[in-house]
Amino acid sequence: MRDFESENGVMLFAGVPVTDLADAFGTPVYVTDEQRIRENYRRIRDAFSAHMETAVHYACKANTNLAILSILNQEGSGIDAVSAGEVAACIRAGIPPERIMYTGVNVSDAELKAVTDMEVMINIDSESGLERLAAINRDLPVSFRITPDVGSGHSDKVVTGRRGSKFGIPMDRVVKTYLRARDLGFDIRGIHAHIGSGGQAVEPFTDMAGIMADTVNRLQDKGIDLDFIDIGGGIGVPYRMNEEEMDLEELAFDVTEIILEETDVRKLIVEPGRYIVCDSTVLLTRCVDVKDAGTKRYIGVDAGFNTLARPAMYDAYHYVAIGNRFGKAATAKYDVAGPICESGDILARDRALPKPEEGDVVVVYDAGAYGFSMSSNYNSRPLCAEVLVNDGEAELIREHEAPEDLWRNQIVPERLRR
């Protein structure tokens, strides 16, 4: 979790007072530090590239804002995309198709066709997907996602690598699937696995690397040589104060050592999403109500789980501060509650905070990953704005939705207008 400076009791984000940002752009609003994205990307690229050739593919489902994709394009990042829409967004941001790999799950024929038309590499998730892709297009390079029987993640809802997962090809059918792909004439390039999201321990990644190395060698014995091993993403970040960070240097050394010593593969792909954008962004929300409910004290804010879904969906923890009372002593514990008509609309529970007042700017930390990208129009609330800060200058990178945007694509039959 990042530390922030303050000036006259006001938190500074990338050198700009959060109160100025809230006043200028309204609330709720996501605010991103451009330089932090660049720093995080370079840190993970350099850690792995120090040991072997590595391509960093940003897992763009974490945040697909075109400005953020453009920053990563400037850095030379590749892309892990999970939908045709994500592929299209990345191409629109200038990222060349050859740096994009599509990994879908339960993919329809229509989506397979759309993705192949954009000429990106397909990372095939199932035997059915292989057969259906063969009927559509066999001229693109492919990889395969396997289920390594190793799982990791901050919640059971984000663990993806365990046996029985909906993701990937089961281990007992991997070799058979590769042989079938060869018979179908596909250009087979690599192997992929992803164990889950938000893992903080190195061991599950090395366990996965060992399984993948063994699989690569079994494929080589069958005459199938691979260009790369893709270990997916899932590298966690600390959301709590004093929480230890993932030891990135140890992770990079241990994983690459296994691949280099146990296989002939000399290229690695990693797919960080959260690690690159999570701590680059805060959510600013305005205190609109202060309530003492007897057994609870509430800070009512104008952002709810329509704006930030993670606390309600995963029981996820986000550190919060009152930006215009930064560094002041706490007076009591509060729940930070949003405006959604649901009891579960709580952004933070039992947080020791300074005495709040209506109009205060509440800052929700580490909101860059799966913040805006999971937001919704629930309760008919327009989506919020996004802002990018660089060198002390703030720029709007997504406008607030207007109420009329909520019904733009709706059609009322003429018979109901009478």
Which of 90, 287, 341, 384 is labelled catalytic? 341
The amino acid that residue 405 corresponds to is: D
- Reference 188, options 247, 133, 254, 242; nearest CA is 133
In terms of C-beta density within 10 A (0-12 exposed, 13-18 middle, 19 or more buried), how is residue 139 classed?
Answer: exposed
CA distance 256 to 249: 11
CA distance 166 to 38: 33
Active site residue 341: yes
HEC string of the chain? CCCCCEECCEEEECCEEHHHHHHHHCCCEEEEEHHHHHHHHHHHHHHHHCCCEEEEEEEHHHCCCHHHHHHHHHHCCEEEECCHHHHHHHHHCCCCHHHEEEECCCCCHHHHHHHHHCCCEEEECCHHHHHHHHHHCCCCEEEEEEECCCCCCCCHHHECCCCCCCCCEEHHHHHHHHHHHHHCCCEEEEEECCCECCECCCHHHHHHHHHHHHHHHHHHHCCCCCCEEECCCCECCCCCCCCCCCCHHHHHHHHHHHHHHHCCCCEEEECCCHHHHHHHEEEEEEEEEEEECCCCEEEEECCCCCCCCHHHHHCCCCCEEEHHHCCCCCCEEEEEECCCCCCCCEEEEEEEECCCCCCCEEEECCCCCCCHHHCCCCCCCCCCEEEEEECCEEEEEECCCCHHHHHCCCCCCHHHHC
- Active site residues per annotation: 341
